[in-house]
Amino acid sequence: DVKVTQSSRYLVKRTGEKVFLECVQDMDHENMFWYRQDPGLGLRLIYFSYDVKMKEKGDIPEGYSVSREKKERFSLILESASTNQTSMYLCASSPVRGGQYNEQFFGPGTRLTVL
């Protein structure tokens, strides 16, 4: 079974702190994604990466950066956390087979609260 793990299930940080959210997948997937999920707004893509050291902006990249130094690990960084970044953060990975983008496998999520 594919396993996607996230470093924390719950996290509480203060405004202005630098926050690191880590995601690791064990299935050698090429693609990795970071989303946030908020009531009434659904899942929104922050960044995705299709290879090591490669990244693409999603729909809401402002206030976030990412790092992918190894294929299995994709980190989301909040340089200076703000209260409007309180949310559920979900990481996902997916394989590429025959040039087709396939289903995504999600981690359990990190519920971040910024005070």
Partner 1 sequence: RKEVEQDPGPFNVPEGATVAFNCTYSNSASQSFFWYRQDCRKEPKLLMSVYSSGNEDGRFTAQLNRASQYISLLIRDSKLSDSATYLCVVTTNAGKSTFGDGTTLTVKP
Q: Judged by CB under 8 A, which of 12, 41, 52, 115 binds partner 1?
A: 41
Q: Judged by CB under 8 A, which of 66, 81, 90, 112 binds partner 1?
A: 90
* Part of the chain binding partner 1 (CB under 8 A), chosen from 12-20, 69-77, 79-87, 98-106: 98-106
Q: Is 50 in the site for partner 1 (CB under 8 A)?
A: yes
Closest distance to partner 1 from the beta carbon of 1 (Å)? 11
Closest distance to partner 1 from the beta carbon of 87 (Å)? 14
Q: DSSP letter string over 29-96?
A: -SEEEEEEEETTTEEEEEEEESSTT--EE-S--TT-EEEEEETTEEEEEESS--GGG-EEEEEEEE-E
For the chain, the distance separating the N- and C-terminal CA atoms, rounded to the nearest angstrom, is 37
Q: Which residues bind partner 1 (CB under 8 A)?
A: 31, 33, 35, 40-45, 48, 50, 56, 58-59, 90, 96, 100-109
